Amino acid sequence: MTDVIEIDEDGIEQVSLKTYAEKAYLDYSMYVILDRALPHVGDGLKPVQRRIVYAMSELGLKATAKFKKSARTVGDVIGKFHPHGDSAAYEAMVLMAQNFSYRYPLVDGQGNWGSPDDPKSFAAMRYTESRLTAYADVLLSELGQGTVDWSPNFDGTMDEPTVLPAQVPNVLLNGTTGIAVGMATDVPPHNLREVVAATIHLLESPKATVAELCEHVQAPDFPTDAEIITPREDIMAMYETGRGALKMRAVWEKEGPDIVVSALPHQVSGSKVLEQIAHQMQAKKLPMVADLRDESDHENPTRLVIVPRSNRVEVEAVMNHLFATTDLERSYRVNLNMIGIDGRPGVKGLDRILKEWLKFRTETVRRRLEYRLERVLRRLHILDGYLVAFLNIDEVIHIIRTEDKPKPALMKRFGISDVQAEAILDLKLRNLAKLEEMKIRGEQDELEVERDQLQTILGSAARLKTLIKKELQSVAEKFGDDRRSPLMARGEAQAFSELDLMTADPITVVMSEKGWIRAAKGHDIDPSSLSYKSGDGFKMAAKGRSNQPTVILDSTGRAYTVPSHNLPSARGQGEPVTGRINPPSGATFEGLMMGDEGDLYLLASDAGYGFVAKLGELQTKNKAGKGALNLPKGSGVMQPAAISEAEGAWVAAVTNEGRLLVFPLEDLPQMARGKGNKIIGIPTARVQSREEFVIAVQVLTDKDTLVVYAGKRHHKLKFSDLKHYCGERGRRGNKLPRGFQKVDAMLVES
């Protein structure tokens, strides 16, 4: 930056605001990344966490010590190592103490340290007490053994460890989240046994692939019994790249009629879930749930009871909806971003994390062994000096008593080193006189054995690997446990559609002559008695349920679908159906159908052609409808006839001249659209001139009665009476008795 600094006439350095701001922001960014937000691959801790753990160990707060007020501990941390606020340090400490946040907590706490339901509900630090857990020992036990690089604290008055000598890959075990400038980290927690098994596999096979490592580390392992439902291939890809996402789903079971949720996803609040479900119930978006209860206690930390409205409710479908719309299913972002052993941040795959950690661990163990070897060699050297002193004890005592400078005299007389002479002089005379050859030689023998072992291990890469492997296994044996979060393959959660949430109430859809539509509750109403606008009147009606769509057939043969549940009430006069659909200009509405998708209807033109169609095939989302019935020239559309039972059913068709034909329904084809086959024979020219056409078409069984209406008179024909009118499909049919040949309508009575 020297090239941008200018010195003015008064000798004051000047720098441009742009340069100053850029440098300040860059410095701050790098500080946040390297010294605040990201964990280190070696010990898996952020600086504040490392300082807390180290400070607590310095205070002697081991797992066997008495608890100490957290305020005093935090005060010690911020006074000696962490130049930030006490509340931030305490929050970091709380996180390490919560067994629902950390898979293997580092801090053991007494008092209120928050609950899974509300992690931030912990008491103030003056009320809580803390000490380290036994697990914290895997980070601290090798501290005083030459394994650590030390750096000055914030004010330079003392040293603090740059990275703790972790005995396991702690960065994966407890996981962490953090936001730095321009980057973030989200490391999920893992199972100790699984991670150690993968690390040992990599130690033995350095070229192991991620797929091989994933045989040991199958997925993260959260401190909850909820299921991980992410597909295995997605988890593999996550470990490959270091980025991805995980889905967790609550565990539930049916107890009698009730649904009981016994485990929630990681960091999901039970009260929040109940609130979400209650909100849906209030908004009438969950009519199949009658009640909610929270029965959680000390024995059952999570027990949420959902009471269905009746036994007929499909609980699987309800839970599937709740998984899609509440926190009973939660996604977690994964971003394995951490500071590597080179001191640089980076997103790393599973293989790279474990390789870097093994490199770190190998170096740590090597330093520990070298430190110990140095201590052993120094002691052996001193013991050699003690032996010389023992063999010449009187002369040594004489030199010490008489000489002004005994050290050089001893070195010259016995040929011993400075260190040996210093060690002899450090002993009190009475202790010097008490030296025993047996003790000295016994200690020498023990240390020589240890020296040889240390030198053998340090001189052999294979032995060093074996030692690391054994140490990893012993930690896994001591602190390892079974997997908590089971891996389950589940289908994607699907929220209820608006239609699914509709109640299946019986309704009658009514259409007026002018095309006004409405829905009346129930099936026992008389549509013709409803009020109609002036000049308008009843035309047709269809019975069904509110969750079934209404299919309308227009005079051009096009079919339209409108939802039935939101049709206007029959208390009013309805609304024009053209507001919901777009029929061709001049088209009128001639048919109305309701029912299940599999229901059959007979579609026919008054030219005497028709076919059988499934209601589901006539439905469409298109406002302009879809072509269903092709009309011969000069013909019109007839009201479709419902087919209650296709097997053994008969078709009855009657013309305006009183010709009636009855034939088996099976003679007509089942189609999705088209003109259909001939039902009754009418000459084409007569249809086109409108001299003769079909008045009505009905479908009946041999138990039904056919009623023919002519003016004010009606004629009932039982099936036995219809033998005279039975014939082949497409025939002209036989004439009805005199007085009934000018047919107005034809209905079926069961």
Name the least confident of 84-98, 137-151, 423-437: 423-437
Is the model's pLDDT at 463 over the cut of 90? yes
- What is the token pair recorded at 305? 């009871």
> What are the residue numbers of the active site?
127
SS3 171: helix
Distances (CA, A) of 695 to 77, 433, 642, 655: 96, 135, 16, 5
Name the strand (E) or helix (H) holding 308.
strand 304-308
Provide mean pLDDT across the span 556-577. 91
- What is the token pair recorded at 246? 């995980």
Rounded Cα distance between 193 and 476, Å, is 5
Categorize the per-residue pLDDT at 432 as very low, low, confident or very high, splitting at 50, 70 and 90. confident
Is the model's pLDDT at 429 over the cut of 80? no
This prediction's pTM: 0.76
Is the model's pLDDT at 372 over the cut of 80? yes
Distances (CA, A) of 539 to 104, 527, 749: 74, 9, 20
How confident is the prediction for the chain on average, in pLDDT?
92
Provide mean pLDDT across the span 284-294. 89
- Helix pair angle (70-80, 47-58), 10° resolution: 110
Residue type, 307: V
Q: Which of 32, 20, 441, 495 is nearest to 285 (CA)?
A: 495
Provide mean pLDDT across the span 599-613. 93
Distances (CA, A) of 653 to 96, 359, 732, 743: 83, 90, 10, 11
Is the model's pLDDT at 550 over the cut of 90? yes
Is the model's pLDDT at 2 over the cut of 50? no
Q: What is the pLDDT of residues 87-132, one digit of tens each?
A: 999 999 999 999 999 999 999 999 999 988 889 999 999 999 999 9
Percentage of the chain with pLDDT > 90? 73
In this predicted structure, what is the pLDDT of residue 502? 65
Rounded Cα distance between 510 and 577, Å, is 11
Categorize the per-residue pLDDT at 3 as very low, low, confident or very high, splitting at 50, 70 and 90. low
Q: Which of 209, 248, 214 is nearest to 232 (CA)?
A: 214
Residue 711 phi, psi dihedral angles, 5° rounding: 60, -130
Rounded Cα distance between 684 and 706, Å, is 27
Asked if 131 contacts 60 with a C-beta cutoff of 8 angstroms, the reply is: no
In this predicted structure, what is the pLDDT of residue 714? 87
In this predicted structure, what is the pLDDT of residue 568? 93
Tokens 């293997």 correspond to: 104
Residue 149 phi, psi dihedral angles, 5° rounding: -90, 135
Distance linking the first and last C-alpha atoms of the chain = 99
Rounded Cα distance between 189 and 170, Å, is 9
Q: What is the pLDDT of residues 8-35, one digit of tens each?
A: 777 788 888 999 999 999 999 999 999 9
More confident position, 117 or 2: 117
Residue type, 192: L
Q: How far is CA 49 from the centre of its chain?
A: 28
* Tally of CB atoms within 10 A around 283: 8
SS3 151: strand
In this predicted structure, what is the pLDDT of residue 310? 87
In this predicted structure, what is the pLDDT of residue 499? 62
Q: What is the pLDDT of residues 620-664, one digit of tens each?
A: 999 999 999 999 988 999 999 999 888 889 999 999 888 999 999
Q: Which of 90-94, 530-534, 560-564 has the highest mean pLDDT?
A: 90-94
Tokens 């009260």 correspond to: 271
SS3 146: coil
Categorize the per-residue pLDDT at 320 as very low, low, confident or very high, splitting at 50, 70 and 90. very high
Rounded Cα distance between 601 and 713, Å, is 28
In this predicted structure, what is the pLDDT of residue 498? 66
SS3 167: coil
Rounded Cα distance between 522 and 655, Å, is 33
In this predicted structure, what is the pLDDT of residue 740? 84
Categorize the per-residue pLDDT at 1 as very low, low, confident or very high, splitting at 50, 70 and 90. very low
Provide mean pLDDT across the span 381-404. 91
Q: What is the pLDDT of residues 675-721, one digit of tens each?
A: 999 999 998 888 898 898 999 999 998 888 999 998 888 888 888 88
Phi-psi region of 522 (alpha: psi -120 to 50; beta: other; left: phi over 0): left
Q: Which of 384, 428, 424 is nearest to 407 (CA)?
A: 424
Q: Which of 79, 77, 87 is nearest to 47 (CA)?
A: 77
Percentage of the chain with pLDDT > 70? 99
Is the model's pLDDT at 327 over the cut of 90? yes
Rounded Cα distance between 285 and 372, Å, is 70
- What is the token pair recorded at 442? 């016994």
Name the strand (E) or helix (H) holding 506.
strand 506-512
In this predicted structure, what is the pLDDT of residue 628? 93
- What is the token pair recorded at 365? 């163990």
Three-state SS string over 8-65 comes to CCCCCEECCHHHHHHHHHHHHHHHHHHHHHCCECCCCCCHHHHHHHHHHHHCCCCCCC
In this predicted structure, what is the pLDDT of residue 4? 63
SS3 745: strand
Q: What is the pLDDT of residues 187-244, one digit of tens each?
A: 999 999 999 999 999 999 999 999 999 999 999 999 999 999 999 999 999 999 999 9
Provide mean pLDDT across the span 317-330. 93
Rounded Cα distance between 593 and 603, Å, is 11
SS3 698: strand
